[in-house]
Amino acid sequence: MITSIFEWIVFGVLCFVAIGWVFGCWTYYNQGKGISLATVNSTIIFFVLIGWSFHYSGMNKLHLLWLTPLVVILSNLITNFVLFQVFQLSSKQKAFFLSLLILLCINCFLLWLITPRSFN
């Protein structure tokens, strides 16, 4: 019972963080400041995590405690290093979609691994 309550608290905190990041992006955009691709990618993946963990409510939501920091680290690493250093993409639009695709593939694979499956 207490574990279930703690899981939903972690889920609520992730929802708050995702909404906060969207508000932060909106505020930066209105002030004329730039928004990094890693921030946009992290925000999108946060909502993927929220949707996945809500849809598969049997999944232990405590996995969000390690998946959320992993999203931030991977999005910064993939966007800044892999795309601009290894692939040397000059177009921000290509870099955004490629980095988002890589992040979605990695995170969906991790979510698929930790999602409970029933074997009938």
Coil, helix or strand for 43?
A: helix
CB 28 within 8 A of CB 35: yes
> Would the pLDDT of 26 be above 70?
yes
> Would the pLDDT of 41 be above 50?
yes
Q: Name the token pair of 67.
A: 């998946």
**Could you tell me the pTM of the whole model?**
0.73
> Would the pLDDT of 119 be above 60?
no
pLDDT (tens digit, 9 = 90+) per residue, 61-113? Answer: 888 888 888 888 888 887 777 666 666 666 666 666 777 777 788 878 888 78
pLDDT (tens digit, 9 = 90+) per residue, 3-21? Answer: 888 888 988 998 998 899 8
Spell out the domain ranges in the chain. Answer: 2-114
